[in-house]
């Protein structure tokens, strides 16, 4: 109320004008058109977004070792927090709209004041040129706050179209121009990652979406740019129909709205390092997606609509809570890279064989007990990594993996390596080390892997290397520590892979040389016996 200065004496028209200008300047910066639209939309959609939020909480799985009542209390507290935050967001939006209403009202007062000055009734001359109003700061979070344009922005279209004179401008009276929309597009260079006050609130995010929709923005990078209070996205996200790349990684998002399916041109979606618990079925409407990163969330299932993402080439589901992969994964015939490491997956579905373009499959740190036989159908597979699982044996169909270059099955429970693996002759790296089932030997035909450059058999119970080991002439890395090696001796193994290859080669040559002994001549008794035998056969033939 101090800004009113009720006791201030005003004796002249110029003093009154100055006071009108001072009061107008005392208002907080006027919200932009996008912010007003966003606030209006947010208030209208808050109930729908609340339902999505509450549904996400209801779908959370209770850990097996947590009492049901305790988990129920946690869920109810989360729901209460949702309702409280929703009211806070509505309050923020309502405050912004109230500010816009006051600015619109003051626009009318300024217009009336301009009319009074342009045609004064008391005959007094208008004051000489007054200084233009300094531009207010913008609500948009840019590296450098942009200056507010001089033109007045109002929800009253007649104010703009009639072009009435204004108190503010280059002179005392000026004609307003067409209102402009402040550029709200975010780029990767903005927001250096300072304190949380430098990040987007829900209102400002909604405003940014409105501005980006109008500009037909192609790329939007919001990595680590949302405040902690932004745990869901406004429904207006679906307006970004021209967007091709969206990065929402490293925020605090818990749930995606159903309208996410409206971003139909999207080819790259990055949602890693959030707190997303489930995905809406509408995710399947993003049929142009080529890359989808969902790593580092809290997903426990995937929607059935995943099967519609037929253009998907890269899918990262690592670091979630997935117990299984859906059968629909086999529909992704264009998928090239699949990362599901660090989950709770016990079985890869047989349908994985339908991923006929797959070149890289990573399933480390899961609970796999075996690999499906269908893995052999993926002839394009180049990298297969299944470290830290419970796999006891490899499928014989791995002989069909003609493109396989890297195989890592370390830290499993392998009892042996099948001979069929040695038909995957493109292998360059093979790691079967640190298995916990006392693996005692390598396949006899391991020498068929003539392209092998790295081999790790460490921490097993292997005593003798097969003779065909001498064929691995390209081997440059050989790890065999913590094995009771006898052939070759430990001191040879410590000299490096080529020393081992040479030792095995020399060993085979020595054995071959010893086996080449001259056969003894037949004794005189044997010669006589064979001679009599032949004569008898001849006499029998004559009788016949």
Burial of 12 (0-12, 13-18, 19+ CB in 10 A): exposed
Q: How far does CA 386 lie from the centroid of its chain? A: 20
Provide the domain limits for residue 285. Answer: 218-321
Grouping H, G, I as helix, E, B as strand and the rest as coil, residue 536 is helix
Report the pLDDT value the prediction gives residue 520, as an integer from 0 to 100: 54
CA–CA separation, 407 vs 424, rounded Å? 10
Is residue 338 in a domain? no
Dist CA 448 CA 431 (whole Å) = 16
Both structure tokens of 125: 């001359």
Alpha-carbon torsion 405, 409, 411, 416, what sign? negative
The CA–CA distances, whole Å, from 391 to 337, 434, 482 equal: 22, 12, 21
The residue length of the chain stands at 544
Tokens 């391991």 belong to residue: 446
Structure-block tokens of residue 224: 């680590």
CA distance 147 to 142: 11
Q: How far apart are CA 250 and CA 267, in angstroms?
A: 19
Q: Where are the alpha helices (DSSP H) in 307-401?
A: none
Where is the domain boundary, 283, 302, 321?
321
End-to-end CA distance of the chain: 142
Q: What is the dihedral of CA 505, 509, 515, 519, to 10 degrees?
A: 150
Bridge pairing between strands 337-339 and 360-362: parallel
Tell me the CATH number at 260. Answer: 3.80.10.10
User: What is the model's pLDDT at position 457?
Assistant: 96
**Structural domain contains residue 40:** yes
From start to end of 237-374, where are the E strands?
Answer: 245-247, 268-270, 291-293, 314-316, 337-339, 360-362
| CA 326 vs CA 198, 303, 329, 350, 352: distances in Å | 40, 9, 6, 10, 10
Q: What is the pLDDT of residue 99?
A: 76
Rounded CA separation 392/409 (Å): 10
Last residue of a domain, one of 302, 321, 340: 321
Structure tokens at 461: 């119970």
- The verdict on residue 281 lying in a domain is yes
Domains in the chain: how many in total?
2
Contact 371, 345 (CB under 8 A): no
Pairing mode, if any, of strands 337-339 and 245-247? unpaired
Q: What is the pLDDT along the chain (544 residues), one digit of tens a residue?
A: 455 565 567 778 887 888 888 887 787 887 767 667 767 776 766 777 677 778 778 887 788 888 988 888 888 888 887 777 777 667 777 777 777 788 788 778 877 877 787 765 554 444 444 444 444 333 333 333 333 333 333 333 333 333 333 444 333 333 333 333 334 344 434 433 444 557 888 888 988 998 899 999 999 999 999 999 888 888 889 999 999 999 999 999 998 988 999 999 999 999 999 999 999 999 999 999 999 999 999 999 999 999 999 999 999 999 999 999 999 999 999 999 999 999 999 999 999 999 999 999 999 999 999 999 999 999 999 999 999 999 999 999 999 999 999 999 999 999 899 999 999 999 999 999 999 888 999 999 999 999 999 999 999 999 999 999 999 999 999 999 999 999 999 999 999 999 999 999 999 888 887 776 545 545 444 544 444 445 444 444 333 2
58 vs 275: CA distance, rounded Å? 15
Q: How many CB atoms lie within 10 A of CB 36?
A: 23
**How is residue 78 written in tokens?**
């989360």
Q: Does residue 386 fall inside a structural domain? A: no
- Residue 501: how many CB atoms within 10 A of its CB? 21
Q: Is 142 within a domain? A: no
Cβ within 8 Å of residue 84, ≥6 positions away? none
Give the model's pLDDT for residue 387.
97
Cβ-Cβ contacts under 8 Å for 126 (sequence gap 6 or more): 13, 117, 118, 120, 172
Assign 531 to helix, strand or coil. Answer: helix
CA pair distance 156, 176, nearest whole angstrom: 13
How far from 532 is each of 16, 40, 521, 526, CA to CA, in Å?
148, 118, 18, 10
pTM to 2 decimals?
A: 0.68
SS3 75: helix
- Of 133, 124, 122, nearest in space to 166 by CA: 133
β-partners of residue 456 are 431, 479
Structure token digits, residue 94: 């309502």
Q: How many CB atoms lie within 10 A of CB 282?
A: 18
Is 91 part of any domain? yes
């Amino acid at each position: 109320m101090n800004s009113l200065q009720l006791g201030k004496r005003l004796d002249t028209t110029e003093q009154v004008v100055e006071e009108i200008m001072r009061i107008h300047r005392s208002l907080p910066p006027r919200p932009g058109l996008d912010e007003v639209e966003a606030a209006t939309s947010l208030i209208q959609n808050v109930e729908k977004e609340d339902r999505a939020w509450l549904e996400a909480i209801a779908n959370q799985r209770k850990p097996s070792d947590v009492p049901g009542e305790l988990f129920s209390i946690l869920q109810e507290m989360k729901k209460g927090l949702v309702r409280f935050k929703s009211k806070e967001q509505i309050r923020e939006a309502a405050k912004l709209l109230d500010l816009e209403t006051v600015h619109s009202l003051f626009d009318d007062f300024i217009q009336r004041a301009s009319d009074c000055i342009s045609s004064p009734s008391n005959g007094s001359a208008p004051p000489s040129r007054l200084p233009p109003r300094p531009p207010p700061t913008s609500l948009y979070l840019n590296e450098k706050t942009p200056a507010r344009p001089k033109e007045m922005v109002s929800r009253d279209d007649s104010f703009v179209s009639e072009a009435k004179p204004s108190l503010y401008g280059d002179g005392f009276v000026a004609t307003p121009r067409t209102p402009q929309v402040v550029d709200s597009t975010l780029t990767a260079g903005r927001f250096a990652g300072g304190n949380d006050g430098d990040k987007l609130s829900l209102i400002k995010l909604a405003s940014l979406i409105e501005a980006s929709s109008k500009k037909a923005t192609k790329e939007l990078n919001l990595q680590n740019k949302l405040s902690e209070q932004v745990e869901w996205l406004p429904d207006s996200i679906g307006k970004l129909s021209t967007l091709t790349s969206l990065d929402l990684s490293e925020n605090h998002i818990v749930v995606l709205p159903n309208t996410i399916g409206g971003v139909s041109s999207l080819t790259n979606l990055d949602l890693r390092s959030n707190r997303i618990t489930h995905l809406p079925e509408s995710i399947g409407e993003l049929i142009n997606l080529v890359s989808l990163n969902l790593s580092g969330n809290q997903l426990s299932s995937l929607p059935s609509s995943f099967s519609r993402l037929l253009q998907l080439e890269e899918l990262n589901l690592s670091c979630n809570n997935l117990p299984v992969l859906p059968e629909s994964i086999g529909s992704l015939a264009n998928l090239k890279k699949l990362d599901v490491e660090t989950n709770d997956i016990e079985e890869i579905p047989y349908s994985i064989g339908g991923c006929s373009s797959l070149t890289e499959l990573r399933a480390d740190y899961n609970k796999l007990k075996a690999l499906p036989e269908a893995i052999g159908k993926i002839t394009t597979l180049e990298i297969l990594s299944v470290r830290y699982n419970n796999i006891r044996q490899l499928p014989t169909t791995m002989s069909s993996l003609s493109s396989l270059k890297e195989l890592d099955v370390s830290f499993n429970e392998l009892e042996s390596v099948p001979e069929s693996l040695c038909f995957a002759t493109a292998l360059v790296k093979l790691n079967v080390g640190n298995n916990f089932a006392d693996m005692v030997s390598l396949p006899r035909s391991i020498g068929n892997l003539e392209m092998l450059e790295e081999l790790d058999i460490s921490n097993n119970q292997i005593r003798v290397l097969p003779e065909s080991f001498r064929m691995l002439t390209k081997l440059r890395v050989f790890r065999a520590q913590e094995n009771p090696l006898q052939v070759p001796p430990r001191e040879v193994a410590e000299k490096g892979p080529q020393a081992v290859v040479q030792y095995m080669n020399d060993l085979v040559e020595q054995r071959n040389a010893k086996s080449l002994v001259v056969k003894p001549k037949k004794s005189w008794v044997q010669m006589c016996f064979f001679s009599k035998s032949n004569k008898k056969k001849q006499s029998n033939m004559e009788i016949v």
